[in-house]
Chains A and B, each alone.
Chain A
Amino acid sequence: MNPGTAKMVQILRLGSILFLWLNAYAYFSRFVDPVFLAGALVLSMGLAALLRLWGGRLIWQWVIFAGVLAGIRFLAQGIFSLLAQGGPSPADGLFLWFDRNYFPLLIPMGVSFALTTWALRFPGFIPWERLVNALLLALIFSFQAGYKGQVYPHPIWQGLAVALFLFVELWMLFLIFRPAVKARVQKANPWTRILFPILFLIPLVLGLAWFLLLKYEEAGTAGGGGLMRPELFRFDFSQFVKLESEISMNEDLVLLYREQGPRQKRYLRRYLLSGYSQEKGFFVDPPAQVQDETIPPVGQIRLKLPDPELPDHKPVVQEYYIVNFDPTSLVALGYPVEVVPFQKWDKSSFVGLYQVTSKVLTPAGLRNAAADPPPVLSPEVQAHYLNYGQDEKIRDLANTAAAGARTPWAQAMAVQNYLQTQYTYSLKPGVSDTGNQLHHFLFNSKKGYCSYFAFSMVLMLRSLGVPSRVAVGFFTQEEEELMNFYPVRANQAHAWVEVFLGPRGWVNFDPTSPNLAPGEEFHFSQGLPLDEFTKYITEILKNTLLEKNEPSPEDKSQENSWEKFVQASLGHLGMWWPWYLLGFWAGVLGLRAGIRWAGVNLGSPRGRVNRAWNQFEALGRRWGHKKPAGMTALDYAALWTGPAAEKALRQAQWVNGARYAADFSLVQAQQALKDHRDLQKFLGSQQPWVIRGLSLLWPWIPADLGRRRRKS
């Protein structure tokens, strides 16, 4: 590395470390003043640089560093003590101020000192420092428990920050390895030019992405009570539900639910899981003949769904204000018949809003369902809803639980009651010795969370010949109602059972036991903090709901148009950024192609040939023939060997003609350009197909890579 590059690398290192700790600052901003943070980092890195100049053993450098830190505190305490002499004074607060800043910064200072010391002492460590930085960044973000925006207010900003960080880190790698690559190119191993960045870039990016996604997934699964999975920056329910040995729950607000009328507990369904296999558990698998099990996404326009027109069903209008959930995922009660998506307003706290009208079984209908005759379904559908894996132990248990019950209703009630009373609720059902978690629950531990209960009830009912399926979604807590709004948090994710009772369709049953397993504690959500709830409700009440397919009022759209544009763009970017990235790159390549085409097809004949020559020189750089400044065209052509030499010479002659001949006609120019195209074609044919393919994406890729490799 030459001194200039080394300086640049050190500046970038400094920026990178500052960036890392600025991200971490969100965690201790309550205690640490930004000026103190900046000072502490400058001190630790400056001290590392000074000690490097001094030399000495590493251990002594650390001793001095620790001594300086301790000394600073000692000195500060001494000064503050002097200032605190006499009566009460504002200086008394300096002790507390200093310690509140000093102690949280010990770790950042230590890490910065360590990294800088190593980087200065062992330049070979600098590439590895990139990896350390990536890990540190991952660690900082991993504390966020699933991208809830603690460090950044929105995942997009976090994405941009990570992109910036990666850019700086990769730039450093590029600067570090550029001389090495050049040297190696001269030693006829140009693969190094690509291999070095790839060797670092791929593990770095993949490692970081893997770690972040893993943490994201873990946090999402834990937060969703084993039911929810993270989608791109949002949560949604999994279409496959397995039984976990342990889950935890977080209290993040997922959505606000609004329904008029007296407060009541509701089951807001996201998915219906009717497919079953012992290996996969329950999963989404709607039979072709059954329409109501296919959940459509919430789109951009009003959606009408078929009304089953069942007896004792009344329309219920629900509104969903989505905070941390996939806004296209439809959540609804009963049989949804209409979905109306709403526009978001400016600076909305919600990622999506929609209204659903569902047909819901009335309480009277529920009572009537008890007397309904057994359901009749087609044989295929019947077989689908009665698949219980032919598990005899479960069938025996079902017979015990529903002994004496004659009708499907009575059997469902009996099984529900059996599970609620004989089993207990637990977030730690434990691990089965045999690998069969459901058997472990039913016959051994007798404790589990909602999925265990729902799985068990469905399989037991199916073994008794009662069609049933698992429903997953959220439940609302009636005591949390405020102005007809109900907060729904991640720990309200729930699984329950729908039983087909004939004329009145599918009816909800919830077999989850209300009794906690002995010795276990569980805190169900106690609602939102009133301030937060009020903030959301105020926002909703102050804004009007406009259907998505309705135009916004003209005057409103002019308000904060720039902010609105940025916000809308960011929101859109959040969902589609990979495509935008690809599109952007395609645009760059297209623009380049257009400029090149225009260069040789437009303008004066001399100009066209000159520009064609420039393109040839650029192509030459790809082939390892960089034209030194001052070299003539003919001398440059002489650099080429083999069949290309003759073609290069012709190009040189053409460009000399274009530059120096008294007359240069369009016909000559066209001939020159024809030769230029021949040369391009020829050189293209000399490249391996891999390089040709890659050059479509990255036109600056070394073209002689394959040839040299074959030679070597």
Chain B
Amino acid sequence: MKRLLWLAAFWGLLGSLGAQETLNYDQWMTRGRRALLAENYQGALEAFTQARKLDQNADEPVESLAQLYTSKKLYSLALEEYKILHERHPVDREPLVKLAETYGLLNQNLASIRYFEKALGFFPRDLEIILALSWMYLKEEQIQRGIDLLEGKRRELGEDKSLAMYLAILYSEDYNYDKSRAEYLKSIAQAGGDRGFTALCYYNLSLLEVAFYRFDRAFEAVEQNLALDNRAGGHLVLGELYQNRQDFRKSREELEKADKTDDTPYSKFDLVQIYLQFGYLAQARSLLQTIEEKKDDSWMYNYGITKKKFDRDLNEIWMKVYYYEAALVDFDPKPWFWDHILAFFRKLYFWIQGWFHEMTLRQLTLEIARESGAQGFKTWLNYYKAYENYPQAAAKYLEMARAYELARTSRARGSWLMEEGKLRKDKTLLLQALEAFQVPDENEQIVQTLQVLIPLLKTSDQEVLARELTNRLYKLNPGALRTAGLSLPLQLNVYGPLGPQVQAKILEFAGWCGYSVSAGSRPGVEYSLNVQAAEDGSWRFSLKDAQGLSVFSDFAPKKAAAEEGFLRGIFDRIHRLP
């Protein structure tokens, strides 16, 4: 009765807005379809609703509404319609599968699994359902269930290229390199002329190779992928491989190519990483904001990620942004006591922001670890990451994760030495890690190791070694110095009639900012800043390495050299890619 009164009032109102029409069911449906074509979604919605009112048992209006909502990404509304259809036809395939998919699109993975399992009960030989369910198992880290399902179905249904690929993905998540690779190769062999599918297999294979530190094979696989299908995924992996090598230009180029066609935020995410690693904070921040503005999370359905994991990753990157900002405050000029006070508060501000993101990151990581339920490599790794600041708790998880991974690939040794060195603040382990990494494919890890190791050496009076390693870090990535609170040790050589004044000025400025500059030679210092200060006030300056080769050189006329931010600009330039 209530509903009738409401509907009466609603249609009374509609009647007052336009001419009252009396159409039958078919006419309303026709009107709805036409409205859809005319992009008049409100009209379509009203027409389908009206049709449903006239024939409350008809499925077509419900289906049309569900499709309309799905097409407009209104998944929660679509879900309600699919629920109605499923209630009416509990053993029909379509409503069940749509219901499961829609739950997946809403990132309600457990509900999605429930309905896919139900669907599988009714349609045990339906490959689409089998694959979708195995994918959801993967997303929820129920790897063994996924493997069991696919292996069982393969025995039942026989070989299939998709089954092989999905199995390969699951084996990859299970850290079973050999089986995973074998399945990928099998799926490629079974693909026949399906270029798109083969390309996808190569893409996934390249991810497997990266996960097992086989970078040469990863390059091969991704090149195969791009040769078959020049799409975002391949460029993304290639960009990440170059990122591992700390090749900024190539990495950015590939990631930008990926970004052009990527409907996920992954390529932007990687671009943010590379900008951050090379000290381009403004670009990283800007891109990060763009990622956060992406409002639709339904893309996650097709990727092995959940909303929580994505949030965790975002918090991690924001944490880095703020901690880097805090580190950069140390390099602001502070000629007066008041500047130190201001710098302290500015640093505190960034540090607090970073801390809040770090806490969120750790908390989310812990939740992910707890929710996974299963005991396995990823769970231990998550526990380790959650407790990273507390060696007492983290060490045992590190031990378990390391034992697990090293049992499967010895190539991970460098990474684990680095992790343990970072956790225990152990210089020896970190130095060993530097020796264990593959060059150049693990340059990124080398950079990370150096960023931790050099400050430890400085505090233990190993200044010379610290300087030598800083030079090494600089060669790999000049932007990585200041974000870790480091600066390039420099010898200052000033020539020309204004030499003494200019030298004093530069040394004074370097002192204000905390840059490591000295007029004389010091052990471990390879680079020199050479300034020719002419009588007319102009400067010719260059940065040279140990061999006397110029890293960059430039000329500043008197006006430019006299500007307030000139010296700051020079030091900024030194700590960026030439």
Contact = CB atoms under 8 A, between A and B. Distances in A.
Interface of A: 30-31, 80-81, 84, 87-88, 92-93, 95-96, 99-100, 103, 258, 260-263, 317, 355, 482-484, 521, 523, 525-530, 533-534, 537-538, 541, 544-547, 550, 553-556
Give the interface residue-count category, chain B.
Answer: 35 or more
B72 A483 contact: yes
Given A95-B387, A95-B390, A546-B13, A530 B290 contact: no
A106 to B, nearest CB: 11
B547 interface: no
A290 to B, nearest CB: 29
Contacts of B286: 521, 523
A258 B293 CA distance: 22
A30 B396 contact: no
A96 B387 contact: yes
Nearest to A487: B295
Given A88-B400, A530-B295, 7 more contacts: A81-B392, A93-B366, A103-B359, A523-B289, A525-B293, A526-B294, A526-B295
B318 interface: no
Contacts of A556: 2, 5-6
Nearest to A261: B40
B57 interface: no
Contacts of A554: 5
A142 B573 CA distance: 40
B80 to A, nearest CB: 9
B39 A261 contact: yes
Contacts of A80: 390, 392-393
A541 B9 CA distance: 15
B39 A534 contact: no
B575 interface: no
Contact of B42 (A87, A258, A523): A258
A482 B2 contact: no
A537 B290 contact: no
A483 B49 CA distance: 14
A558 to B, nearest CB: 9
A31 B355 CA distance: 11
Interface string B91-120: 000000000000000000000000000000
B13 A544 contact: yes
A676 to B, nearest CB: 62
Nearest to B80: A538
B183 to A, nearest CB: 32
Given A530-B297, A534-B74, A534-B76, A92 B39 contact: no
Nearest to B375: A88
Contacts of B387: 92-93, 95-96
A482 B392 CA distance: 52
B5 A483 contact: no
Nearest to B360: A30
10 contacts: A88-B383, A88-B397, A260-B43, A261-B40, A538-B74, A538-B76, A544-B6, A550-B13, A553-B2, A556-B2
Contacts of A526: 290, 293-295
A547 B10 CA distance: 10
Contact of A96 (B8, B9, B39, B366): B366
A544 B15 CA distance: 13
A103 B355 contact: yes
A88 B380 CA distance: 9
Interface in B58-79: 72-77
Interface in B12-47: 13, 16-17, 38-43, 45
Given A95-B392, A541-B45, A260 B10 contact: no
Contacts of B366: 93, 96
A483 B48 CA distance: 14
B396 A88 contact: yes
Interface of B: 1-2, 5-10, 13, 16-17, 38-43, 45, 72-77, 286, 289-290, 293-298, 355-356, 359-360, 362-363, 366, 383, 386-387, 389-390, 392-393, 396-397, 400
B40 A84 contact: no
Contacts of B39: 261-263
A534 B77 contact: yes
A92 B9 CA distance: 60
Nearest to A31: B359
Contacts of B38: 261-262
A262 B298 CA distance: 24
Among A260, A526, A550, A554, find the residue whose CB has the most chain B CB atoms closer than 10 A: A260
Given A96-B387, A263-B39, A523-B289, A537 B74 contact: yes
A260 B75 contact: no
Contacts of A544: 6-7, 9-10, 13
Given A103-B355, A260-B42, A541 B77 contact: yes
Contacts of A81: 392
A84 B359 contact: no
Contacts of A261: 38-40
A530 B393 contact: no
Contacts of B289: 523
Nearest to A525: B293
B42 A483 contact: yes
Contacts of A30: 360
B265 to A, nearest CB: 12
B297 A553 contact: no
A546 B9 contact: yes
Contacts of A103: 355, 359
B295 A527 contact: yes
B383 A523 contact: no
A554 B6 CA distance: 10
Nearest to B17: A317
B10 A84 contact: no
A229 to B, nearest CB: 27
A482 B73 contact: yes
Contacts of B400: 88
A87 B295 CA distance: 42
Among A93, A103, A526, A533, find the residue whose CB has the most chain B CB atoms closer than 10 A: A93
B363 A534 contact: no
A509 to B, nearest CB: 27
Among A80, A263, A525, A541, find the residue whose CB has the most chain B CB atoms closer than 10 A: A541
